[in-house]
């Protein structure tokens, strides 16, 4: 089956609405996933599939399509409505469901949407599971007869359970956080964060000043919570004298921070600071992906624990965490994974851990960030060439013979204080070139040297 124009990967399936991603495509993948989930469940296990969506404009349309598609293959749908990706994952675990579908394109621009496919463990599908599910679609999905159609019920308590689970984490002193009454500036980019972030921050006794809280999916800025997109939040944080500014992406699995000085500190510091808090209370490995800042390694080394690298992609980090018994992990895009709650990126968890760290340290966020070495990450991207990338990787290894190579996901070349990572994106038809070094000039030089063989293939 041709998937032209679609990004089909470990992250699910995504595309531009009205182009590659149509109601027909959504129905085909939703039905195929539902049939796979129902067929692979253990004897006596629920036929339920949890469904949620973020606030994207196309979300209600695709939501209706997904409900019908799942019913048509005999799945019993538990509809949690407008929600966050981590809430949907937790709902799959709570209901002991056969799987879950989250309708969200995460940080992609407004014209995109996607189906994120969640297995019965609450993790996104692993590679073998995804291959089996797609093989079923390509072989032809079997639909249920009239007497075996599924049903739809609703669950209005998923967000409340999520918040209660965060508040019960062993690292949090909820009473002390409430007594501190942190001032928080909040930007939910008109996404699903408007559902859960005020609920959490209110429970933690915070004084919240919020912007972009209408969950209608009409993003007022590029939705990815990177520093260059957080100018409005930075201005608000400084103007009201907030202790911290918090920004989430549309489906609330990523968290970015703004210091009390009104400066975005960079998404990688979300995981680094969360790990710093957890490692004060519990020792164990930290896992992150190959494109995350070295600052996370620095935090692990300072605590005397291992920092393990995994391929990019939430499920890859989650599986590596499960295998290594990691106490915390995540990705440098602001995604924090805490196994005490679930093996998925979770912005509410990141926010709660950050407030606990501020409480325990008794110093402003800018001072905590200043404790760590500063690195500069430079990111570039090119159209994905039709030619195989293997020759590019070989050329790069030849150009940097002194570097330590890692081939788990594209090619990462590392030195003691810098690295460069070249890999095909799993969410866009591009090749990413990411480098980090102590200075911007050094990082840009790595990117430019790494682009040479890529440019030759693209031209």
Query: Which positions are annotated as active-site residues?
Result: 106
Furthest-apart CA atoms within the chain: distance in Å: 66
How far is C-alpha 238 from the chain's CA centre? 27
Distances (CA, A) of 320 to 195, 210, 281, 314: 31, 36, 21, 10
Task: Tell me the C-alpha distance between 288 and 419, whole Å.
Answer: 15
Distances (CA, A) of 380 to 86, 324, 443, 451, 458: 29, 32, 11, 9, 14
Residue with tokens 């050329």: 395
Beta bridge partners of 263: none
Which 8-state DSSP code applies to residue 6?
A: -
Two tokens at 263? 């400066």
Buried b (16+ CB within 10 A) or exposed e, 267-277: bbbbbbbbbbb
In angstroms, the Cα distances linking 70 to 33, 81, 84, 379 are: 8, 15, 20, 39
- Could you tell me where the DSSP H helices lie in 76-119? 85-94
List the beta bridge partners of residue 286: 307, 328
Specify the DSSP element, H or E, that contains 166. Answer: helix 158-167
Torsion of CA 311, 314, 318, 319, to 10 degrees: -50
> Distance of CA 10 to CAs 5, 117, 123, 130, 425, Å?
16, 9, 11, 7, 11
Provide the b/e sequence for 279-314 (b: ≥16 CB within 10 Å): beeeebbbbbbbbbbbbbbbbbeebebebbbbbbbb
Q: Is 437 helix (H, G, I), strand (E, B) or coil?
A: strand
């Amino acid at each position: 089956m041709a998937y032209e124009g679609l990004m089909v990967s470990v992250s699910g399936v995504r595309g531009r609405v009205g182009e590659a991603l149509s109601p027909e495509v959504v129905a085909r993948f939703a039905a195929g996933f539902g049939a796979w989930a129902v067929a692979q469940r253990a004897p006596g296990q629920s036929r339920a599939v949890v469904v949620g969506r973020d606030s994207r404009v196309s979300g209600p349309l695709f939501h209706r399509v997904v409900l019908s598609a799942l019913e048509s293959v005999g799945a019993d749908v538990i509809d949690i409505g407008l929600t966050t990706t981590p809430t949907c994952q937790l709902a799959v675990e709570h209901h002991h469901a056969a799987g879950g579908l989250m309708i969200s394109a995460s940080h992609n621009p407004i014209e995109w949407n996607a189906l994120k496919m969640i297995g019965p463990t609450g993790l996104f599908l692993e590679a073998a599971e995804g291959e089996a599910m797609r093989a079923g679609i390509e072989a032809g999905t079997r639909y249920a007869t009239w007497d075996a159609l599924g049903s739809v019920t609703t669950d209005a308590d998923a967000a409340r359970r999520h918040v209660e689970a965060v508040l019960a984490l062993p690292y949090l002193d909820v009473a002390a956080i409430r007594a501190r009454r942190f001032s928080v500036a909040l930007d939910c980019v008109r996404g699903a964060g408007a559902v859960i972030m005020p609920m959490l921050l209110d429970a933690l006794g915070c004084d919240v000043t919020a912007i972009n809280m209408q969950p209608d999916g009409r993003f007022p800025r590029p939705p990815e919570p990177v520093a260059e997109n957080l100018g409005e939040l930075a201005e608000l944080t400084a103007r009201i004298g907030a202790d911290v500014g918090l920004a989430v992406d549309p489906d609330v699995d990523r968290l970015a921070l703004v210091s009390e000085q009104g400066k975005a500190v960079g998404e990688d510091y979300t995981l680094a600071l969360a790990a710093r808090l957890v490692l004060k209370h519990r020792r164990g490995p930290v896992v992150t992906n190959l494109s995350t800042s070295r600052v996370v390694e620095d935090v692990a080394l300072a605590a005397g624990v291992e920092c393990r690298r995994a391929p990019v992609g939430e499920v890859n980090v989650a599986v590596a965490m499960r295998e290594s018994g990691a106490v915390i992990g995540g990705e440098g895009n602001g995604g924090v994974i805490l196994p005490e709650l679930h093996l998925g990126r979770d912005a509410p968890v990141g926010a709660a851990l950050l407030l606990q760290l501020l409480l325990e340290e008794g110093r402003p966020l800018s001072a905590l960030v200043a404790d760590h070495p500063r690195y500069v990450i430079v990111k570039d991207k090119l159209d994905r060439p039709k030619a195989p990338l293997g020759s590019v990787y070989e050329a790069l290894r030849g150009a940097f013979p002194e570097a330590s190579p890692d081939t788990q996901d594209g090619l990462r070349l590392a030195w003691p204080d810098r690295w460069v990572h070249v890999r095909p994106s799993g969410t866009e038809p591009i090749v990413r070139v990411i480098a980090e070094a102590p200075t911007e000039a050094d990082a840009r030089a790595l990117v430019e040297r790494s682009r040479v063989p890529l440019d030759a293939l693209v031209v």
